[in-house]
């Protein structure tokens, strides 16, 4: 079975979508598939990087295509980067794909599935769409004006075409499946829910008293509430800052923000403006330190703007569960993550804007450490059963064999 993945970033890049794709590509190659990846020559954090045009890593053949390198800082430059990726990717896919091959298109850059669908039709290949988010709806709801007019309508029609002509569409959760199904996508290419994952070989629970980062970051015996990952426009932080204000005089509670993103500077500025002594910041940690960084917190925060439910799934929940820690979700209390936390008994959910409820949830976890530890144990157990890397890869292997008509033993 020949598989061709397409995504703007891949190994050795460390961005979230790159890491998930890297895991899956390496594992499918190890299980006997012929795996190719079409990607850019850049790194997410370094658009000026020039990785080799062709490489092989753990048996996976990597085709790094030429694109412009304006980066994410300029909207026009980003559009040019996307356009050159579409063109180069289309040409590369045309040269690689043959009848019966499976092309798996992720969603970076947006609408790359349209190019993949065009190639699949001409080469008699099979398209599988792997939706990490739903574009252009995300852009529309985040206020990107160009996607709120006629161009947005054209983008939706092109996107729907790529979904309807695919052999399968893979989404990350129930709410996203509900949204895609509402578009009339059905039949042989119906949606398949395969969530993202973490890796039990990489992330494991570490006792707070044995955690080197807690000592390095001088967290002492504080009850640490963590936020780890991207601090982008899709996430809501005003509720968290409100809870920080309410808890400012409770010296045994500390908030730890690890990561970066468009809103990090604003969060830091607000913490200084409000004179909040209970917030600390750290940069992204290396992947081999994730077990320590995620276990440094006693509980973790996850947030998503309510209007983005069904379009994005915060995948940080899996790493938190792998570390054996409970989660508190802030957003739509009937969202994807709240449903998971309720089903598995691994955390709390509060509505966006309700800082008082968030502060109360944090206090309850701090005041009953035994219940908090039990919640973390349930999170790890549910992770091992449902969200570990081998579990997700097995689902992918079964699905891809089915769409390719391959009999598995």
Task: For residue range 163-174, list pLDDT tens digits in order.
Answer: 999 999 999 999
Q: Bigger pLDDT: 25 or 16?
A: 25
State residue 188's pLDDT score.
53
Lowest mean pLDDT among 4-8, 163-167, 175-179, 405-409: 405-409
Task: Please provide the average confidence, as pLDDT, over all residues in the chain.
Answer: 94
Q: What is the mean pLDDT of residues 395-405?
A: 95
State residue 70's pLDDT score.
83
Q: What is the mean pLDDT of residues 130-147?
A: 93
CA pair distance 95, 90, nearest whole angstrom: 9
Contact in structure between 101 and 125 (CB atoms under 8 Å):
yes
Q: What is the mean pLDDT of residues 249-255?
A: 97
- DSSP single-letter state for residue 127: E
Q: What is the mean pLDDT of residues 143-166?
A: 91
Residue 55 backbone dihedrals phi, psi, to 5 degrees? -150, 165
State residue 146's pLDDT score.
84
CA pair distance 186, 169, nearest whole angstrom: 10
Q: What is the mean pLDDT of residues 311-337?
A: 97
State residue 225's pLDDT score.
98
Q: Model-level pTM?
A: 0.93
Tell which phi-psi region holds residue 213, choosing left (phi > 0), alpha (psi between -120 and 50) or beta: alpha
Burial 161-197 (b: 16+ CB within 10 A, else e): ebbebbbbbbbbbbbbbebbeeeebeeebebbebbbb
State residue 186's pLDDT score.
60
Q: Name all domains of the chain by residue range, CATH numbers in brackets.
A: 2-197+388-404 (3.40.50.2000), 208-386 (3.40.50.2000)
**Residues 263, 170, 321, CA angle at the centre, nearest 5°?**
55
Token pair 């957003």 is found at 331
State residue 76's pLDDT score.
81
Instruction: Note the pLDDT tens digit of each residue in 280-298.
Output: 999 999 888 999 999 999 9
Residues in the chain: 409
State residue 407's pLDDT score.
66
Instruction: Note the pLDDT tens digit of each residue in 36-85.
Output: 999 999 988 887 888 999 999 999 999 999 998 887 767 788 889 899 99
CA pair distance 50, 38, nearest whole angstrom: 15
State residue 408's pLDDT score.
58
């Amino acid at each position: 079975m020949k598989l061709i993945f397409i995504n703007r970033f891949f190994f050795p890049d460390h961005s979230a979508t790159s890491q998930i794709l890297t895991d899956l590509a390496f594992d499918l190659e190890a299980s006997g598939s012929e795996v190719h990846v079409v990607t850019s020559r850049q790194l997410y954090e370094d658009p000026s990087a020039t990785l080799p045009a062709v490489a092989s890593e753990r048996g996976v053949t990597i085709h790094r295509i030429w694109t412009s390198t304006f980066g994410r800082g300029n909207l026009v430059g980003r559009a040019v980067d996307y356009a050159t990726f579409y063109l180069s990717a289309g040409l590369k896919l045309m040269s690689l794909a043959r009848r019966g091959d499976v092309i798996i298109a992720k969603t970076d850059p947006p609408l790359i599935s349209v190019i993949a669908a065009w190639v699949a039709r001409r080469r008699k290949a099979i398209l599988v769409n792997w939706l990490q988010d739903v574009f252009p709806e995300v852009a529309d709801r985040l206020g990107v004006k160009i996607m709120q007019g006629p161009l947005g309508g054209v983008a939706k029609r092109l996107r729907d075409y790529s979904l309807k002509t695919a052999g399968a569409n893979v989404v990350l959760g129930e709410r996203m499946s509900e949204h895609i199904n509402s578009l009339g996508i059905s039949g042989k290419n119906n949606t398949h829910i395969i969530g993202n994952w973490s890796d039990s070989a990489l992330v494991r629970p570490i006792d707070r008293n044995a955690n080197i980062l807690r000592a390095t970051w001088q967290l002492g015996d504080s009850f640490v509430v963590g936020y780890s990952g991207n601090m982008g426009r899709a996430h809501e932080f005003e509720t968290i800052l409100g809870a920080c204000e309410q808890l400012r005089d409770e010296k045994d509670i500390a908030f730890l923000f690890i990561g970066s993103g468009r809103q990090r500077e604003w969060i830091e500025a607000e913490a200084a403006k409000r004179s909040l002594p209970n917030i600390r910041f750290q940069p992204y940690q290396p992947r081999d330190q994730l077990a320590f960084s995620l276990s440094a917190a006693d509980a973790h925060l996850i947030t998503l703007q309510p209007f983005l439910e069904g379009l994005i799934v915060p995948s940080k929940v899996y790493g938190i569960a792998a570390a054996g820690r409970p989660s508190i979700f802030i957003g739509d209390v009937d969202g994807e993550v709240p449903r998971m936390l309720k089903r598995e008994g691994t955390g709390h959910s509060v509505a966006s804007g309700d800082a008082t409820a968030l502060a109360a949830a944090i206090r309850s976890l701090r005041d009953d450490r035994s219940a908090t530890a039990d919640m973390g144990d349930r999170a790890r157990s549910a992770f091992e059963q449902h969200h570990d890397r081998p579990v997700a890869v097995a689902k992918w292997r079964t699905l891809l064999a089915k769409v390719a008509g391959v009999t598995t033993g």
